[in-house]
Amino acid sequence: MKPLEKTTLLCTLAALACACNPDNGPVGPGAAIRVAADASKADQPAYGPWGAPVNLGPVVNSAYNDQHPSISKDGLSLYFVSNRPGGFGGNDIWVSQRATVDDAWGTPQNLGPSINTSSNDFAPDLSIDGHHLYMNSDRPGGCGGSDLYVARRHDKDDDFGWGQPENLGCAVNTIYDEAGPLFFEDETRDTRTAIRRDGLEMFISSDATGRPGGVGGQDLWVSRRATTSDPWSTPVNLGPTVNSSYFDGAPALSFDGTTLYFFSARPGGFGANDLYVTTRARLGGPEVVAEGDAERHERAEIHGQRGAHRKGMR
């Protein structure tokens, strides 16, 4: 495969560096740097607390396992993994679509034989430009038990236009299992699951055992940093409003940072694992102030055109 410039593919997230306590001393040669860092904090976007998670409902969820979501940049395509009937193997990748961000999610559709096989195809991760889909699969012909793959498409609005996934090769993959790919693009600082687009907030799922503040067996946590040059802080649990005493995992953050998708085994769902969403309000920040009416109109126009195209296909 051709290498992608200015990108990093993170196969697993084993540990996070702990941030040092800030030095409050106002004098010395480092004072100007600290003042600049403090100024950058003031320019960061501000968000409210996360709300109670909402089950995506019986149209999206099934009586089977529905998990590992990935949301497109425009918020109109939700990719996820399911072992529901109608697929090609044990676990397949499916997509649910909606015409606008205010519409309900449509009936999920299997991505088809270009992506899925009779083996397990898992953990979809859309690149921010919408042209690459990373995943892992234990299909034959790889380097190990489960390998990382990438599929490409020309039209980023065509959820069924993916080419055959290509193995990332045995320099990345090993004889062991590689799973859960995470794509991070330097220029826009955005990624599907963990990292907010400015690179200052990262959401992870982690075993709560041995971590202070855990709620269930597997919880969602957040780590922050003041600038992209700083180390990440010790992860903080999102708390009992978001997490349950059951398994909560695989967070996927929307492009604007206000919506977090994940899956959970908590009671009250429709299957073993269900997809949920929690939201928070954007309270302010430079991007909110700088966003003009022309940009909002252009984005709304794009959503409208895409929605009309999808309705025409149904």
* pLDDT, tens only, 247-290: 999 999 999 999 999 999 999 999 899 999 999 999 987 654 33
What mean pLDDT value characterizes the chain? 80
Look up residue 158 and give its two tokens. Answer: 């065509």
pLDDT for res 286? 62
125 CB-contact burial (10 Å; exposed 0-12 / middle 13-18 / buried 19+): buried
pLDDT for res 216? 87
Query: Would the pLDDT of 92 be above 50?
Result: yes
Query: Residue 183 to residues 129, 133, 248, 301: CA-CA distances in angstroms?
Result: 11, 9, 21, 28
Average pLDDT over residues 200-229: 89
pLDDT for res 287? 57
Nearest to 245 by CA among 213, 219, 209, 278: 219
Greater model confidence, 174 or 304: 174
Average pLDDT over residues 173-184: 79
**Tokens 């960061």 appear where?**
44
pLDDT for res 207? 86
Per cent of the chain over pLDDT 70 is 73
Most confident of 2-6, 11-15, 273-277: 273-277
Give the pLDDT band of residue 9 (cuts 50, 70, 90). Answer: very low
pLDDT for res 22? 37
Greater model confidence, 215 or 185: 215
CA distance 30 to 40: 16
pLDDT for res 185? 57
> Worst-scoring range by mean pLDDT, 167-171, 209-213, 242-246, 250-254?
209-213
Greater model confidence, 208 or 103: 103
Query: Would the pLDDT of 145 be above 80?
Result: yes
Query: Would the pLDDT of 112 be above 80?
Result: yes
| Neighbouring-strand partners of residue 203 | 222
Give the pLDDT band of residue 154 (cuts 50, 70, 90). Answer: very high
Query: Would the pLDDT of 79 be above 80?
Result: yes
pLDDT for res 70? 94
Nearest to 181 by CA among 236, 131, 229, 250: 250
Query: Which CATH architecture group holds 51-313?
Result: 5 Propeller (2.115)
pLDDT for res 282? 93
CA distance 66 to 86: 14
Greater model confidence, 312 or 146: 146
pLDDT for res 183? 66
> Worst-scoring range by mean pLDDT, 13-17, 86-90, 159-163, 301-305?
13-17
Greater model confidence, 4 or 45: 45
Query: Would the pLDDT of 118 be above 70?
Result: yes
Three-state DSSP at 287 gives: helix
Per cent of the chain over pLDDT 90 is 61
- Helix extents (H) in the chain: 31-42, 286-290, 293-313
Q: Which amino acid is at 172?
A: V
